[in-house]
Amino acid sequence: MTVSPGIGVPSVVMEPTLRERKKQRARLELATAAMRLFRAKGFEATTVEEIAAAADYSPSTFFRHFGSKEDVVFLDIREDLAAFERALEGRPAGTSMWQQIRQHIHLTIDRFGESGAEFEASSVAVWLTDPALRGPFQLFCADWEQVIAQAWAAAHGTQDPDADLEAQLVARGVVSACQAAFHVHVHTGGDLQELIKQVFDALDRGLDRAALTG
């Protein structure tokens, strides 16, 4: 059990129970086995039965953790996007929207890395190279662009992010830069967090600094 300091009475954060840890472990083992098979055989050619067998579980166990194979491919990405959106909406005073975006992209990559190096590398490779997943991956990227554009427009007093060129430029630039980092990560094995840092440093140099301070 850990105690998180706060205002007034401290909040208590309970450690996961043994049952919860077992569920988390099974979920990650299934996901890692799935990504390994997707990378080797392709998404469409891999069956749930093969995934379950590779992780030493039954197909019924797979479906207790995942609704479909696609849920494995984009493990927790919806939850990550929701957390990212809340972080942008709750931007602290004195922090620019650009700083908030950059900080919480890094935090998202940190969370992604907690699933293990093999899962991280296999996931990114499958997202970028499997023909069956390129479309769904681009849809998720569009969702991230929308969240960033909306937050940027709101922070700068614009009512319509779709009509705000700067908001669209920032949103699409951030997502495209992250895709560039993913690409290099797949082809070189370079540290993903460091690559993300490098692309944000490049954006810092390329964008008008006056726009990044608001």
CATH number of the domain bearing residue 116: 1.10.357.10
Can you give the pLDDT at residue 97? Answer: 95
| Residue type for position 65 | H
Task: Report the SS3 class of residue 175.
Answer: helix
Residues 83 and 163 in one domain: yes
Whole-angstrom distance, CA of residue 118 vs CA of residue 34: 11
How many other C-beta atoms lie within 10 A of the C-beta of residue 134?
12
* CA distances from residue 203 to 158, 177, 211 in whole angstroms, order as listed: 22, 8, 12
Residues 82 and 167 in one domain: yes
Tokens of 27: 């979920």
Residues 90 and 194 in one domain: yes
Can you give the pLDDT at residue 205? Answer: 81
Can you give the pLDDT at residue 209? Answer: 52
The domain spanning residue 57 has which CATH number?
Answer: 1.10.10.60
Strand pairing category for 11-13 and 2-4: antiparallel
| Domain assignment of residue 1, yes or no | no
Which residues constitute the domain of residue 35? 11-68
Q: CA angle, 56 as apex, 52 and 58 as ends, to 5°?
A: 50
User: pLDDT below 50 — which residues of the chain?
Assistant: 1-11, 13, 210, 212
Whole-angstrom distance, CA of residue 80 vs CA of residue 185: 20
- The candidate with the shortest Cα–Cα distance to 74, out of 132, 146, 149, 23, is 132
Residues 96 and 193 in one domain: yes
Can you give the pLDDT at residue 14? Answer: 61
Residues 15 and 88 in one domain: no
